[in-house]
A and B are shown apart, each in its own frame.
Chain A
Amino acid sequence: MIPGPAFVILAVVLFVLGVVAFFLKRDLLTQFMAVEVMLNAANLAFLALSHPQDRAEAQVIVFFILTVAAAEAVVGTAIILHVFRQRKTVRTEDMGGLKG
Chain B
Amino acid sequence: MAWIIFLLLSVLCVGSVAAMIISRNQAHNALFLVLCFACLGGIFGLLDAAFVAVVQILIYAGAIMVLFLFAIMMIDLKKAFPPERKRIVRILSAVLGGVFFIELILVARKALLTASGPAAAGAGNAAGIGHLLLTDYLFPFEITSLLLVAAIVGAVTLAGKKEPS
CB-nearest residue of chain B to A79: B158
Residue pair A77, B67 in contact (C-beta under 8 Å)? yes
Q: Are A23 and B89 in contact (CB under 8 A)?
A: yes
Q: Which of B33, B72, B112, B120 contacts A5 (CB 8 A)?
A: B112
| Residues on B with beta carbons closer than 8 Å to the beta carbon of A14 | 13-14, 17
Residue among A44, A54, A85 with max Cβ neighbours from chain B (10 Å): A54
Contact B129 A10 (CB under 8 A): no
Q: Find chain B residues with CB under 8 A from A30 CB.
A: 20, 26, 29, 81
Q: In residues 5-47 of chain A, which contact B (Cβ within 8 Å)?
A: 5-10, 12-21, 23-27, 29-30, 32-34, 36-37, 40, 43-44, 47
Question: CB-nearest residue of chain B relative to A48?
Answer: B47
In the complex, what's the smallest C-beta–C-beta distance from B57 to chain A, in angstroms? 11
A48, B77: Cα distance in complex, Å:
39
Q: List the B residue with the shortest CB-CB distance to A39.
A: B60
Candidates A7, A9, A27, A56; contact of B105 at CB < 8 Å: A9
Contact A23 B93 (CB under 8 A): yes
B contact residues around A81 at 8 Å (CB): 71, 74-75, 158-159
CB proximity of A61 to chain B, nearest CB, Å: 9
The interface size of chain A toward B, counting residues with CB under 8 Å, comes to 70
Q: Which A residues form the contact surface with B (CB < 8 A)? A: 1-2, 4-10, 12-21, 23-27, 29-30, 32-34, 36-37, 40, 43-44, 47-49, 51-60, 62-64, 66-75, 77-82, 84-85, 90-91
B residues neighboring A (CB under 8 Å): 2-3, 6, 10, 13-14, 17-18, 20-21, 26, 29-30, 33, 36-37, 40, 43-44, 46-49, 51-52, 55-56, 59-60, 63-64, 67-68, 71-72, 74-75, 77, 81-85, 89-90, 92-94, 96-97, 100-101, 104-105, 108-109, 111-112, 115, 117-120, 123-124, 128-129, 132-133, 137, 140, 144, 147-148, 150-152, 154-156, 158-159, 162
**27 CB-based A-B contacts, threshold 8 Å:** A2-B3, A8-B112, A12-B101, A17-B14, A17-B18, A17-B21, A20-B97, A21-B17, A21-B20, A23-B90, A24-B84, A24-B90, A29-B72, A30-B81, A44-B43, A53-B120, A59-B49, A59-B124, A59-B129, A60-B132, A63-B129, A64-B137, A67-B147, A69-B60, A72-B151, A78-B154, A84-B75
